[in-house]
Amino acid sequence: MSRFEDACIITCAISGVVANRAQCPAIPYTPEEYAAEARRAVDEGAAMIHIHARRPDGTPSFEIEDFRAITRAILEEVGDVIINYSTGAVGVPVEKRIAYLRELRPDVAALNMGSMNYAKYSPRRKDFVFKMVFENSFDTIIEFCRAMRELGIRPEHECFDVGHVASLAPLIDMGLVEEPLQVQCVMGVLGGIPATPRHLRYMADEVPGGAESRNNWGVIGISRDQWRLIAAAAASGGNVRAGLEDNFYLPNGEMARSNGDLIAQARKIVEAVGRRPATVAEARELLGVPRREVGVFAEVAGGARA
């Protein structure tokens, strides 16, 4: 029996930073487009929105004002939803990534749990599409942990391999993070763990306390392997994520017309294994993320949360 009973937190990753509209026309660029995508996702069952910021021309942004404009537009459109900011980047100083957390104070922020080769390979080309070293040293992780703890932001521990899950132990021992943890098993990135249900179960079992503990775990499946991983996570009591950051295609091979299409499919899988999407209030309780009735987010949203 899952410790969630029957509620599954569905997250929508609206847009990443690598792909563009030449690859998928549904990718949002402007704050208004982000808000429309958030509405489609929430209407289909998403309780949390994961945000990588872009400028209106579609280029990636790590600027406070772009995060602010996107966040305001989303909250004005959907009201209460858990806001989750990305902090991952290559070549962007940690201080700059902490600056928008400090200014805007989202409910949740991603915390990448280890350095790694991060790549995509094309067998057809016999070459890498891209390859980079994704730096997330313990010094970087600790700096983010301390900032998030000070700001009251719940870390989402993004683990690309089993060793990243094991790296939670010293953070817990140092008192830098506390339960209930939120652990995301990121699968399918070349350089990280392969995207199979067997590997997912192994990672989930390594979460502190085990897969059935009070700590939360879920899956982020990259590309079309996403769907069998969502099914495996949902059936095993985990949470799930879908959205145009991770995968453009529905199980039948058709390209999604919106994030709503992807979240609707994730919801169907969750329901097919006898569970249901968690409400925003349920997700907040499970994650230990209180609703911000006053303060920064109320101002950002133009009073939408007040």
Reported as a single tens digit per residue, the pLDDT across 248-271 is: 999 999 999 999 999 999 999 999
- pLDDT tens digits, 113-159: 999 999 999 999 999 999 999 999 999 999 999 999 999 999 999 99
127-135 long-range contacts, Cβ below 8 Å, gap at least 24?
Answer: 130/18, 132/90, 133/90, 134/88, 134/90, 134/191, 135/90
Q: Is 23 exposed, middle or buried (0-12, 13-18, 19+ CB in 10 A)?
A: exposed
How high does pLDDT run on average in the chain? Answer: 93
**Contact, 58 vs 24, CB < 8 A?**
no
Model pLDDT, residue 18: 86
* Torsions phi, psi for 233 (to 5 deg): -65, -45
- Confidence tier at 70 by pLDDT (50, 70, 90): very high
> Residue 229: is its pLDDT beyond 70?
yes
The amino acid that residue 149 corresponds to is R
- pLDDT tens digits, 181-221: 999 999 999 999 999 999 999 999 999 999 999 999 999 99
Model pLDDT, residue 291: 86
- Which is higher by pLDDT, 81 or 305? 81
